[in-house]
Amino acid sequence: MTTFMNGFDSISLSNGKYRKHYMLSLIILGLIIGFFITDFSKPNQIGFFITAYCLGVPCVVTLGDRWPITGNVLGLLSNVGEVLINFSFGNTGLAFAGFYYGGTHIIGLIKAANKNNRDEDNKYKISKLDKWWAWFVLFSGAVGLFILIHFAPQLGFVSDGTTLGDIRYWGNIIAYLLGVLSQFTMIMGIDISWWGWFSSNFFWFLLDLTSGNIWFAIRDVIYEVNCITSIRNWYESSRREKNMINQEVSY
């Protein structure tokens, strides 16, 4: 067990021996898979490839390693493609959440500009969720949910009455709510955020696979692998920062 944890930490923790190799491997793996499933003679598939593997995977990998500027810039760029692509595949909940994600990436860049929010390695400090931001998350989720349900027909967001249609309808709603919670807590540097992404990726994968979006479905699997190591990385970073604070207080 000790040997396993040492190996796991070597790819999970920011100072792990093979952390950079692991990050680069996920990005290269995504690019290779994307290259082989993409027909580059079709402009729309080129857009899928760029959004999912040139921007999306590097975004989550760098955010998982707490790179505030790189991760949020890549996130903003990939969000543009994600909104359009998710709408085209009928995943209205995922597309709608993209607008929210874009806004939080801007907040993330503003937050990163404050040096007090970065550690000595220039990475996100792990923090607690402020009550005002908690209300913001709840408000954003409620407003989005109201629009999704109340204006569903206008958005083309309806079930066709089949079991699969019902699953996709409710799956989009659940994915939206989980995404709203996970995205903002991640941007604010809350350690529990990656548990939210770990859960929401199951719904993303289901929705992307059933809608025929194979580019995003495979990307979701890579996202999930990144979630597992990011959970460990953020919790360990949180523990170290708490220890440092306790030591400063004791002095």
- pLDDT category, 96, cuts 50, 70, 90? confident
Of all residues in the chain, what percent carry a pLDDT higher than 90? Answer: 51
Residues paired with residue 190 on neighbouring β-strands, in sequence order: 127
Closest to 17 in 3D by CA, of 25, 7, 27: 7
pLDDT digits (tens, 9 = 90+) for 189-199: 888 899 999 99
pLDDT of residue 25: 98
pLDDT of residue 250: 57
In the predicted structure, residue 245 carries a pLDDT above the cut 80: no
**198 vs 158: CA distance, rounded Å:** 26
What is the mean predicted confidence (pLDDT) over 205-224? 96
What residues contact residue 77 under an 8 Å CB cut-off, 6+ apart? 55
pLDDT of residue 51: 97
Name the residue ranges covered by the structural domains of the chain.
Answer: 2-250
Quickly count: other Cβ atoms within 10 Å of residue 81's Cβ. Answer: 19
Of all residues in the chain, what percent carry a pLDDT higher than 70? Answer: 96
The answer to whether 43 touches 35, Cβ cutoff 8 Å, is no
What is the mean predicted confidence (pLDDT) over 30-39? 98
Instruction: Provide the mean pLDDT of the chain.
Output: 89
What is the mean predicted confidence (pLDDT) over 173-194? 88
pLDDT of residue 244: 65
In the predicted structure, residue 251 carries a pLDDT above the cut 60: no
